[in-house]
Amino acid sequence: MKRPDLFHPAGPETLLKMILGGLPRGEVFGIARSLFFTPAQSDPFRSSRYGRLLETPLGVAAGPHSQMAQNIVSAWLCGARFIELKTVQALDELEVAKPCIEASDEGYNCEWSQELKLEESFGQYLSAMALIHVLRHALGHPENPPGQGAGFILNMSAGYDLKGVKSPAMTRFLDRMASCPEEVRELRGLLSPLYPALEGMSLPDFVSDNLTLSTMHGCPPDEIERIARHFLEDRGLHACVKLNPTLLGPEAVRSILNGRLGYAAEVPDDAFGHDLKYPQAVELIASLQQCARKAGRHFGVKLTNTLEVVNRGNLPPGERMLYLSGRALHPLGINLAARLRETFGPELDISFCAGVDALNVARVAGAGLSPVTLCTELLKPGGYGRLRQ
């Protein structure tokens, strides 16, 4: 008997049947057509990343909502165009205490990486890529100029240490994400009988050529640099390193979070003791910028990772520490972005995910922080439809 607390992915043909069955009724996966985003070549917010067009600067951050094909497709339908796929790691058979997420206001979680095996994760990401191309055609979206892609980018997220990243299982996963012409051909053959136009459509022979590095809280700076260099130099990927809000230091973090905002969340001294310090981050970023230039790849940072806090009964008592996300992180992320801008100037690429919602997204993007991605916001009532706001 299948465990009800585990994911059991549907096949891509099943998902396509659901999509094609829903479109005449004005919905896909229960999302009303009125919430779909329809791009136009005149949209003023279009941008370019990694040499490809992004139809919007909006996306989803890696999380429980970006690991199944239907999740990814749903996010795309509602306007997400930079989609950070659920973080994967070599250890893909973890038992996670549940419930592992509480997001009634700010978010708390004790989850780890993907809840699927690496082979399943690859299949979900490949299926999502193909299904989005089918939907672009079925919905009559305009074609983009040659060489600019389909208007969206799937961004890998991987961790958590160099040994795991270079393991045989992760090596196979990363290899296939970067080049999978045979798998694309097989998937086209599987789906074309259901959507014959797919036979003549152009599909890329890869899923992703870019990656956001997610490291453990407390990962040493030299380990972070070795992993990032592996992605930039050895794998030829465009890479981004996710930074922690603890870079602001204990006085600033506690003053903002507990003093000015009034949150009761307790950030332990250990969170600052074992995390990267700001001078170390400056040195790391400068080194990786130089590495990326030599490799002919793009490098940037993402703000921010979650914030380690003491579990005060928000989730199962067996978990001593939790990870804070959502709107409580927003002022911390903005303050850290301002400090990095002061240090590096506009040439440092900064993408942003920290408490973004419909009320602040325009200001965040207008400040040059892009793409802007959401996570905790999408775990609230309305789900992916909140992107349409």
On whether residue 206 sits in a domain, the answer given is: yes
pLDDT in tens, 320-344: 899 999 999 999 999 999 999 999 9
On whether residue 264 sits in a domain, the answer given is: yes
Kindly tell me if the per-residue pLDDT of 318 is higher than 80. Answer: no
Contact 13, 69 (CB under 8 A): no
On whether residue 133 sits in a domain, the answer given is: yes
Separation of alpha carbons 221 and 230, rounded Å: 14
Per-residue buried b or exposed e for 262-301, using 16+ beta carbons within 10 Å of the residue's own CB: ebebebeeebbeebbebebbeebbeebbebbeebebbbbb
Separation of alpha carbons 12 and 6, rounded Å: 19
Where do we find the tokens 């490949």? 126
Tally of CB atoms within 10 A around 36: 18
Residue 113's pLDDT band (cuts 50, 70, 90):
low
Separation of alpha carbons 388 and 35, rounded Å: 6
H or E stretch including 121?
A: helix 118-138
For the chain, the average pLDDT equals 95
Separation of alpha carbons 78 and 37, rounded Å: 5
On whether residue 32 sits in a domain, the answer given is: no
Burial class (CB in 10 A: 0-12, 13-18, 19+), 373: buried
User: How many structural domains compose the chain?
Assistant: 1
On whether residue 73 sits in a domain, the answer given is: yes
Print the domain residue range for 226.
Answer: 51-388
Tally of CB atoms within 10 A around 206: 17
Structure tokens at 120: 């399943």
Q: Which three-class secondary structure state does DSSP give residue 266?
A: coil
Residue 115's pLDDT band (cuts 50, 70, 90):
confident
Q: Which of 8-22, 31-45, 162-176, 207-221 has the lowest mean pLDDT?
A: 207-221
Query: Which pLDDT score, from 0 to 100, does residue 110 have?
Result: 87
On whether residue 39 sits in a domain, the answer given is: no
Q: Which three-class secondary structure state does DSSP give residue 123?
A: helix
Structure tokens at 74: 């749903």
Kindly tell me if the per-residue pLDDT of 114 is higher than 90. Answer: no
Kindly tell me if the per-residue pLDDT of 312 is higher than 90. Answer: no
What letter would DSSP give residue 11? P
Of 334, 228, 337, 340, which is closest to residue 279 (Cα–Cα)?
340
On whether residue 3 sits in a domain, the answer given is: no
Kindly tell me if the per-residue pLDDT of 179 is higher than 90. Answer: yes
Contact 376, 107 (CB under 8 A): yes
Kindly tell me if the per-residue pLDDT of 48 is higher than 90. Answer: yes
* Confidence (pTM): 0.96
Query: Which pLDDT score, from 0 to 100, does residue 146 have?
Result: 87
Residue 219's pLDDT band (cuts 50, 70, 90):
confident
CATH code, domain carrying 274: 3.20.20.70
pLDDT in tens, 71-99: 999 999 999 999 999 999 987 777 777 78
Kindly tell me if the per-residue pLDDT of 348 is higher than 70. Answer: yes
Structure tokens at 333: 């992320």
pLDDT in tens, 293-311: 999 999 999 999 999 999 9
Structure tokens at 322: 């939790």
On whether residue 6 sits in a domain, the answer given is: no
Q: Could you give the angle at the alpha carbon of 351 between the alpha carbons of 300 and 151, nearest 5°? A: 100
Give me the mean pLDDT over the 209-234 stretch. Answer: 93
